[in-house]
Structure 1
Amino acid sequence: MAMSGELKSFVSSLKRSHRLAAEVVHVEDIAAREAAYGEPDPPLPPGLVRALAAQGVERLYSHQATALNLVRAGRDVVTATPTASGKTLVYALPVLERILAEPSATALFLFPLKALEQDQMSALNQLALHAGLGPVADIYDGDTPDGRRRKLRQKPPPVIISNPDMVHAAICAFPSAWDNFLSRLKYIVIDEVHAYRGVFGSHVASVLRRLLRLAAKRGSRPSFVLSSATIANPGEHAEALTGRPFAPEQIIDFCGAPAAGRSFVLVNPSGAASTTASYLLAQAVGQGLSTICFTKSRIHTELIHTWVTRAHPELKGLVAGYRAGFLPEERRGIETDLAAGRLAGVVTTSALEMGIDIGGLDLCILVGYPGSQINTWQRGGRVGRAGRDSAVVLVGGPDALDQWVLSHPAEFFAQPVEAAVLDAANPQIVAQHLVCAAAEEPLAVDDEFLPPVGHPEAVRLAMEDGKLLLDAAGTRYFTPRKRPQRLVDLRGAGESLAIVDHKGTVVGSFDGVRVFKEGHPGAVYLHRGRTYLVKELDLEHRKVRVTPLDADYYTRARSDKETEILEETGRRPVANFLVRKGRLKVTEVVNGYERRRLSGGDLMGVYPLELPPLTFETVGLWMDIEDVVRRSLERAGRHFMGSIHALEHVAIAMFPLFALCDRGDIGGISIPLHPQTGKAGVFIYDGVPGGVGLAERGYGLIEELLEKVEELLATCDCEEGCPACVYSPKCGSGNKPLDKLGALMLTRLLLGKLPLEEAEPCAAPAPQVIAPPPVRSREHPLAYGVFDLETQKLANQVGGWNNIHLMRVSVAVLYDSVRDEFISYSEDQVLDLIKRLSELELVIGFNHMRFDYQVLSAYTAADLRSLPNLDLMLDVQQSLGHRLSLDALAGATLGAAKTADGLQAVDWWNQGRLEELTAYCQADVELTRDLFLRGQEAGHLLYANRDGQCLRVPVDWSWPSLRERLA
């Protein structure tokens, strides 16, 4: 084993190396962390104290002790701490303690990888043995022989170790076979919960609800003990996954475990990242450093392993490849050899990312940024696990996300980790699990765990296909399907297509979304280190027929896309644009594909395709691009379509900085004129039917996302665009047109960092309609409200009066006659104001129809002008033939005056003087209310003409007249 001095020498040599010195862009030294301990209350039983001592554990870390006390109290717990922080004891100790006190108790341990199951079974049984219990755990998964499965069902051990796929297909699907185990179930332990995100996580959320439902019918309510890598939203993610609330004290996101020092080296290679990684791996192993090298693909795993062993024959027995597709015994052999020190290096995909015990490694090489901070630290956490110093070397690739990390090391190391995102209410996914649940036990309309009444769209989808049927009483759902679980793939969002080779052997599968892009005729498909050529896409029989091919190229689909807005579910103003969200229908036609050389990615040719359109409904966000923005870009000589197209690419590339996803999980489209909005727009949407929560998160963080877009565009050294900024490897139009400088200008215009040109007013698009409330008797006073609002910006700051909707609310005040009080609203309470306005029988304002409602249109798609409105300014204008100001009417009629004006209000907002701003707005509301009441009482208002004469303006605001007008 290498000493820390040798490791430091290796890191130092990188900065002095003739080959790499110019390519090492940053070295971050991460200090060691001291341990913090805690005491369980009450103390652990003697048997467990002995078991811990046998493993060299004398005291528990603070996070372990805190979690243990919570689990003992019957609370659900999620622990989100770094790799190698002792999370295993968090769930092992309370489970073993319960089994010691209650031998009939059972627990279900779930892991995302089979290798983790083996590792954890060994660790748990070893701990149990020293505690005087003997073996308590056994594995029930796809590799378990049928005879062994039968015995485990008939006489289950206290702990069953499995995975979500088996819970779905073999436990929930056969509930009566598991009566004995489920009726005594006390704990559900889920390790690596950050892995349950996107489509997979959304499926697992429904599987867990089905499992809880079956357990409840057998009289048990198990507690959840969850563990995760450090993520931004452990409590929120745990709630989405389990369906149970997690209070702050149930979230353990502090860590008492110690950590050794670590050096993190960022390398921006002049050549290919894989070539540089091969060189580093050979050098490290040659110097006696135990090294793990992570790649992004199976083919690069194979290539780097081959290059290293061919160039350095002496390392052939010391370096191994490791990836999916290896036999279980091959994988276990490599893991054992690594842990024992017989292997000095391993090249792997993400298959070795999670907490399998592979011993104390010294160096981790990352070939390309793994796509998220979570994956980066998870992979980096595979080294230094024996309490020794370690190092991580990130060799960046040419794409935008890699280059951003390499160019912003300070921000990268200071930035919080991403959030894990799933959508437990995805109708496409929930529909499949409602059918499964109905097959397992009749499903009540208001079921506690998976209520059909709470998922109307999912029920509609399932009933449309005849998969879900209501009983005669209309209270329970059944399904005519037998074993519908077999048709549900937890890793996909829809029914899959089998990939069949020339011998008829199934070698894999595609879901319905991916097949058109990756399974079209002529596509190259990689599976288990082998290359296949797609010969036929048979949609009728749901098969993709392939034949082996030794290819030196890969393929990439080209396509045209369009999107239809099905429903808008939210909108808000951001600087100089509106961001909106809602349900979308995306139609994509794959019209061709490219062949690109495997080494270097050079384009070899483009080939046409004729395929049916791919249409799916999903959730997305979109940014309205105003005409004034387009004109600003065109005046500057920028290509408008190229600008919005480039912005779309970079936004998608930067998206994984905020949500735990791959850029392939999200889609985008830029449109110079959308037929529904009447404007240009940039759409970003979840790339799977129904959505999985990614666009929803992006909607809330759009400002931060655009800041990252601007930063990348401004710092990339290229002149016209490159793979490090605006080029996308997944672009359906071959990365044309793209305007990098236009995208930078566009981003700054949207964020309000560049001024907008003023434009002439034009008509706004027709909004939706809110039905007015029912009208009461003619003699009864109407429930009315008087309101006014102030804005954050002046008209000349948003491109003129045509863009009132971009001025944003600073404060609004409503006089509510029902409550007889003034209520103030900040910008984040605007929807509450709109809700209250829609409940009133009469909304009164002064010029609110033309101005205030235009400002509010940035926050709602509803047509507020369809409410029962009385605009005093418009009423007076209709009577006189010209407008009068609020100040003029109030001065003559009430002997009162406005206390300030709109310019002063914006100044107050900019200075943060909110009390004065609110008081001014309320004073205007009082003036408007008092004018209304005086006019109602007297039948007129007063004003002074140009000659100084005081004249009457007749008004008819009596309740009967207003009721007749509003009817």
Structure 2
Amino acid sequence: MVQFIDSLGRELNLAGEVVHVERIKSRKASYAELNPPLHPLLKRALKAQGVSKFYSHQAKALKLARQGRDIVVATPTASGKTLVYALPVLENLLENPKAKALFLFPLKALEQDQLTALNTISTLSGLGQAAAVYDGDTPPSVRRKLREKPPAILISNPDMIHAGILGYADAWDEFLADLEYVVIDEVHTYRGVFGSHVAQVLRRLLRLAAKRGARPRFILSSATIANPALHARSLTGRNLEDEAVVDRSGAPLAGRHFALVNPQGAASTTAAHVFTRAVKAGLSTICFTKSRLHTELIHSWVANQNPELRNKVAGYRAGFLPGERRIIERDLASGKLSGVVTTSALEMGIDIGELDLCILVGYPGSQINTWQRGGRVGRSGRDSAIVMVAGPDALDQYLINHPGIFFARPVEAAVLDPDNSSIVGRHLTCAAAEEPLTPKEEFFDLDLHSQVVKDLVDQGDLLYDAEGVNLFSARKKPQRFVDLRGAGDSFAIVGPGGRVVGSLDGIRAFKEGYPGAVYLHQTKSYVVKELNLVERKVIALPAQAAYYTRARSDKDTEILEETGRRPVNNFLLRQGRLKVTENITGYERRNLRGGDLLGVFDLDLPPLIFETHGLWLDIEDSVRQVVEKAGYHFMGSIHALEHVAIAMFPLFALCDRADIGGISIPLHHQTKKAAVFIYDGAPGGVGLSERAFEIIEDLLAKVEELLASCPCEEGCPACVYSPKCGAGNKPLDKKGALLLVRTLLGKEDLLQKEAGPAPVIVSSPKDREVKPMELSYGVLDLETQRLANEVGGWKNAHLMRVSVGVLYDSVQDEYFNFPENKVHHLLKRLEPLDMVVGFNIKGFDYSVLSAYTSFDLHRYFTLDLLKDIHAQLGFRLSLQSLGEATFGLGKSADGLMAVEWFRAGEMEKLTEYCRRDVELTRDLFLYGQENGYLLYQRKNGPKLRVPVDWSWESLKKRKKEHRG
């Protein structure tokens, strides 16, 4: 293996460059004794399979399981996790033959793999064939037998549990009543939309089991992730303790070499070269691609250019027929095949034999997937290798040029949203069909989802009983209408004579099954003639196409609801519910070899419309002017910024760039500003954009870093081009995007250099007698982190950010201080007040606060002393001048000093300064209320009275008019 890696750079020639090789050291096994020892029959069964001792993590997991705890084991690939979940279940069966266990796997191939392993151990231990598979491939006659006499271990997948078991719970009474264990393998794959659906399926399963007296325990198995306990809690709803996590593997690790290759041309071409050379060198090789298309392309190139390898290599991906997949899996395990090109379909623990080399065509999108795929090799104990051939896109190029960052990066957290209202609503309907929903549900928080329940009732999906207490489903089998994968029903790809050659899910059918699209299947190419939306068929005919196709689209977004906002340097960041409309407008034909554009063809398809969660950057006109006055293309700049932000986002969350969507709009019809939208690509959202909302500063810093470091002049696939761009990567302006992101982050000055009136510090008169109030009120003043000239002028006050706010509450006769991280508490305190009092509060303070809430603060009845006096005199007076004339007090500081105090961290001085302004404003209000006027000093003249009418009677009348 060392020789192969060492010679790789020479062999690649002009195909690419080996930029880094990391040597991953081997690790010896760590063993531990079981106490008490394993059941003698199980011990004998394992000894017959060559297992006489246990890794330390296996022993720890079995100890926790024996204590009756829910556990999660998060260790690397090939660390013996099958025994972790098999032994507690089999040991329990030997003690209690009536017990039942449910084993869930995300893929059917894994089910078949584990069936053999479990039945081998159970037979050797005297339990006979304890396990059976119940899934979509199980013949109807076998399904009936399994329902009538359930096996001790039922192996299935979440889709089948959802539709085939929970939907027919009465037929599974015996199994559910005796259910003692639920084993879930590959837990890290239950994330995003799929994970959020499975979380609801498990709650429905536990609900039906509980109604039959069962409280099963969980054993969860996962690849190494950053948040195993939290993810397990989100998935199962159980309060799984951190102490019940086993995440330190005792399994041995063979030495590995990890080579990073930067290709001269297409990554797939270089990967095909490495794959061919490895197979010819006798190395058992697996090549992971990022798409079905590239799986087919690499397989075709290798087989067509090397006829002697045609029967030694295979392609493997979703969309193959079950029989095709089984043959490939069997031939890999037996050694008949020397190499396989695959999508993520073979990423998980299916037994495909001992492999030597793993090729990754592009960064898999996360550290979890990288090491999971790399873990498919080296299982025989001898050295192995991983070769990652970088793609041309931004994230790949960033990591290939920063190997230190790549190898030091920790694994990510798995994210799912168990409270996604769109998904919860669908499963509440299913749950109500299985057992009526009652007001006190243990496994569903109906109070939290009260609006969801109301909507379902209003839509007629849920029906109350005659007493108006319990809820029933209006449909008999609503499970049929809920797709756990969130992609819609699949389309069959039909070839000549009506023969089914594959399948596409609902969204892929629009993007890959349109008329004119090329569909590749096991080195054969088909051209789509018809997309039949009614019968859900894609009609395709064999063709010798020397090109591949890619859809083009345009998108629009509508803001349905804003759920949060915050100011960030020179822009306002907002988030909320969005409606995204995507139109597939046409497709490109590109040369198979070089990817050159051969032509663009129009399409007329119905739009794809879905609701999701997203964020958007409000881009001010002053920011736009900076970009345009520098001579850059503004639309090209925001478009490029969108592309790079999406490309770099997987550095911060467990996702692929395909999980995130984006839209750049130079003038959005709702915001009336330019905007860059980033949103979850899954209907309803799964928490990715919420994560982006939290780390937007770090994300934009990575955008700036990439744009500044890429050596190209005008932009390239390694920085601003996106392989997913529906607009054909036009227009894009790399240099404009760099200036834009620097301006947004406050590293470039905005154009306007105006200064405004500065707040002052004054001394308040001594406490005065306050007459009883008839309206509760608060007096508010804010100080900011930035000056007006730093954000482009007073019109951008919403970008100045709160440094501190002080509120006097008349009800409690007390002052409250609020730094920026407590602004939401300040906003909460304003809600119950009858009136808010301030000085220039409508023109300034509310503008600053608008960056923290979507609520229109002007809806509060507000007495703005500055506006009242301006209306009386026709000109403005400062707070300082009114204080000096009315109370004989002067200033001791200014607004510039307030910002300096904030930047120096002198918050006590800053807060005291702001409080004294509030005191002065309050005392001017009370003085004017009591006397009917305030005083001001005419320049070179006498003091004059400014009439004011702030009596309670007058204020109550104004409040009533404000409401009207």
C-alpha change, 1:599 and 1:362, in structure 2 (3 Å) is same
Counterpart position of 1:350? 344
In the TM superposition, 1:680-759 aligns within 5 A as 680-758=674-752
Q: CA deviation at 1:947?
A: 5.0
Amino acid in structure 1 at the alignment position of 2:752: E
Counterpart position of 1:4? none
Measured in 2, the distance between the counterparts of 1:909 and 1:631 equals 29
C-alpha change, 1:570 and 1:650, in structure 2 (3 Å) is same
Counterpart position of 1:418? 412
Counterpart position of 1:796? 789
Measured in 2, the distance between the counterparts of 1:798 and 1:16 equals 55
Q: CA deviation at 1:857?
A: 0.7
C-alpha change, 1:18 and 1:605, in structure 2 (3 Å) is closer
Measured in 2, the distance between the counterparts of 1:118 and 1:52 equals 20
Measured in 2, the distance between the counterparts of 1:65 and 1:823 equals 56
**Secondary structure at 1:839 match in 2:** coil
Q: CA deviation at 1:135?
A: 4.3
Q: CA deviation at 1:642?
A: 1.2
Measured in 1, the distance between the counterparts of 2:847 and 2:319 equals 59
Counterpart position of 2:256? 262
C-alpha change, 1:945 and 1:62, in structure 2 (3 Å) is farther
In the TM superposition, 1:511-526 aligns within 5 A as 513-526=507-520
Say whether residues 1:368 and 2:362 are aligned partners: yes
Say whether residues 1:574 and 2:542 are aligned partners: no
Say which is worse superposed, 292-301 or 23-32, in terms of deviation: 292-301
Counterpart position of 1:277? 271
**Secondary structure at 2:355 match in 1:** coil
C-alpha change, 1:225 and 1:810, in structure 2 (3 Å) is farther
Counterpart position of 1:143? 137
Counterpart position of 1:242? 236
Counterpart position of 1:649? 643
In the TM superposition, 1:275-674 aligns within 5 A as 275-305=269-299, 307-308=301-302, 319-324=313-318, 331=325, 334-335=328-329, 338-339=332-333, 343-444=337-438, 447-450=441-444, 454-455=448-449, 467-494=461-488, 499-501=493-495, 503-504=497-498, 513-526=507-520, 530-674=524-668
Measured in 2, the distance between the counterparts of 1:833 and 1:36 equals 55
Match of 2:7 among 13, 29, 39: 13
Say whether residues 1:869 and 2:862 are aligned partners: yes
1:690-727 CA-to-partner distances (Å, cap 9, x unmatched) read 33333232222222222222222222232222222222
Runs of at least 5 residues in structure 2 that lack an aligned partner in the other structure: 757-770
Amino acid in structure 2 at the alignment position of 1:171: I
Counterpart position of 2:898? 905
Measured in 2, the distance between the counterparts of 1:251 and 1:927 equals 58
Measured in 1, the distance between the counterparts of 2:525 and 2:10 equals 40
Amino acid in structure 1 at the alignment position of 2:855: A
Measured in 1, the distance between the counterparts of 2:442 and 2:667 equals 46
Q: CA deviation at 1:415?
A: 2.6
Say which is worse superposed, 440-449 or 176-185, in terms of deviation: 440-449
Measured in 1, the distance between the counterparts of 2:186 and 2:296 equals 27
Measured in 1, the distance between the counterparts of 2:682 and 2:945 equals 65
Alpha carbons 1:325, 1:528 under 8 Å: kept: no
**Secondary structure at 1:749 match in 2:** helix
C-alpha change, 1:647 and 1:952, in structure 2 (3 Å) is same
Q: CA deviation at 1:634?
A: 0.8
Measured in 2, the distance between the counterparts of 1:542 and 1:12 equals 51
Say whether residues 1:180 and 2:171 are aligned partners: no
1:259-284 CA-to-partner distances (Å, cap 9, x unmatched) read 33332111011133233223323333
Q: CA deviation at 1:635?
A: 0.6
TM-score with structure 2 setting the length: 0.89
Alpha carbons 2:263, 2:389 under 8 Å: kept: yes
Counterpart position of 2:205? 211
Amino acid in structure 1 at the alignment position of 2:851: A
- The percentage of aligned residue pairs carrying the same residue is 67
Counterpart position of 1:773? none
Amino acid in structure 1 at the alignment position of 2:740: L
RMSD, matched Cα:
3.5
C-alpha change, 1:610 and 1:945, in structure 2 (3 Å) is same
Measured in 1, the distance between the counterparts of 2:819 and 2:49 equals 57
Measured in 2, the distance between the counterparts of 1:821 and 1:61 equals 63
Say which is worse superposed, 780-789 or 51-60, in terms of deviation: 51-60
Measured in 2, the distance between the counterparts of 1:288 and 1:88 equals 30
Counterpart position of 2:21? 27
C-alpha change, 1:22 and 1:157, in structure 2 (3 Å) is closer
Runs of at least 5 residues in structure 1 that lack an aligned partner in the other structure: 1-6, 763-777
Measured in 2, the distance between the counterparts of 1:428 and 1:530 equals 40
C-alpha change, 1:387 and 1:760, in structure 2 (3 Å) is same
Alpha carbons 1:761, 1:802 under 8 Å: kept: no
Measured in 2, the distance between the counterparts of 1:747 and 1:396 equals 26
TM-score with structure 1 setting the length: 0.89
Measured in 1, the distance between the counterparts of 2:153 and 2:369 equals 29
Aligned residues: 946
Counterpart position of 1:222? 216
In the TM superposition, 1:104-143 aligns within 5 A as 104-128=98-122, 133-143=127-137
Measured in 1, the distance between the counterparts of 2:946 and 2:60 equals 74
Q: CA deviation at 1:397?
A: 2.1
Amino acid in structure 2 at the alignment position of 1:12: D
Measured in 1, the distance between the counterparts of 2:594 and 2:855 equals 52
Say which is worse superposed, 490-499 or 272-281, in terms of deviation: 490-499
Amino acid in structure 1 at the alignment position of 2:779: V
Amino acid in structure 1 at the alignment position of 2:178: R
C-alpha change, 1:503 and 1:328, in structure 2 (3 Å) is closer
C-alpha change, 1:527 and 1:170, in structure 2 (3 Å) is farther
Counterpart position of 2:766? none
Amino acid in structure 2 at the alignment position of 1:864: L
Measured in 1, the distance between the counterparts of 2:461 and 2:647 equals 39
1:333-355 CA-to-partner distances (Å, cap 9, x unmatched) read 65455556565433333222101
Say which is worse superposed, 134-143 or 927-936, in terms of deviation: 927-936
Say whether residues 1:81 and 2:75 are aligned partners: yes
Alpha carbons 2:296, 2:521 under 8 Å: kept: no
Say which is worse superposed, 12-21 or 626-635, in terms of deviation: 12-21
Say which is worse superposed, 721-730 or 416-425, in terms of deviation: 416-425
Measured in 1, the distance between the counterparts of 2:281 and 2:546 equals 34
Measured in 1, the distance between the counterparts of 2:451 and 2:81 equals 39
Measured in 2, the distance between the counterparts of 1:131 and 1:941 equals 96
Measured in 1, the distance between the counterparts of 2:805 and 2:159 equals 52
Q: CA deviation at 1:747?
A: 1.4
Counterpart position of 1:917? 910
Q: CA deviation at 1:185?
A: 1.5
